[in-house]
Amino acid sequence: MRAGVAARAAFGVMLWCVAAAGAATADSALDAYAHGDYAQARSGFDAAARGGDRLAQYNLAMMLLRGEGGPADAQLGAEWLTKAARAGMAQAQYNLALLYEGGVGVERSLSTATEWWQKAAEQGHTEAQVELATQYFLGRGAPKDWKLAARWYEAAAANGDAAAQYIIGSFYEHGDGVARDLRKALAWYVLAARQGDVGAAAQAKDVARRLSESAPSGSAP
């Protein structure tokens, strides 16, 4: 596998979810945030979060972790993020796993990170699928299992992640965690190449050449 192709997601680039919330308080907080009034937004999200709004819980957690609208509080941010994650919010589950991976606001635990990535991955969260696959690939916070790694890389690849498309192409090319299949390898390499992956383009050409050379005379590769 190419170095860095499954790079870890950085905590600093977590996305702040701006979808509209149902409660008027949360709507007001979203509007305040959009206008740069972080103190008012944080107060509004706090009120809505205490009322059980999982999106407000998530947004409040992000503000606490980043120190927006008041002092940063990683521990409290992690607590609110946990509430949103337990309420089934995939983005919160993904980000909570990042906290456990880095030991931010919680005790560091790679196995707990894996558990939360698993929950988000099962909901179709692409980045969580990549992270979960990497845990299994490396045996990091999970037993080393190339079959499970292949399963989740392929899920992320199907969701359009170019790096995952390259990786699962490599798995099919070499028979790692899956039955060796050069045609499937070629298909995944081509998809990654179409997204600008130069390495995938080179691999696609090589695999296509090998398929052509191995094909019976007069038949399609």
pLDDT tens figures, 149-168: 999 999 999 999 999 999 99
> What's the pTM value of the predicted model, to 2 decimals?
0.87
Give residue 177's region: left, alpha or beta (phi > 0; psi -120 to 50): left
Q: CB within 8 A of 168, min separation 6: which ones? A: 150, 153, 154, 157, 178, 188
CA distance 19 to 215: 52
Q: Where are the domains of the chain?
A: 157-215
Q: Residues 5, 66, 53, CA angle at the centre, nearest 5°? A: 100
Cα distances (angstroms) measured from residue 121 to each of 26, 104, 212:
27, 21, 37
Q: Residue 95 in 3-state DSSP? A: helix
Structure tokens at 72: 């940063």
Q: Residue 12 above 50 pLDDT?
A: no
pLDDT tens figures, 41-96: 999 999 999 999 999 999 999 999 999 999 999 999 999 999 999 999 999 999 99
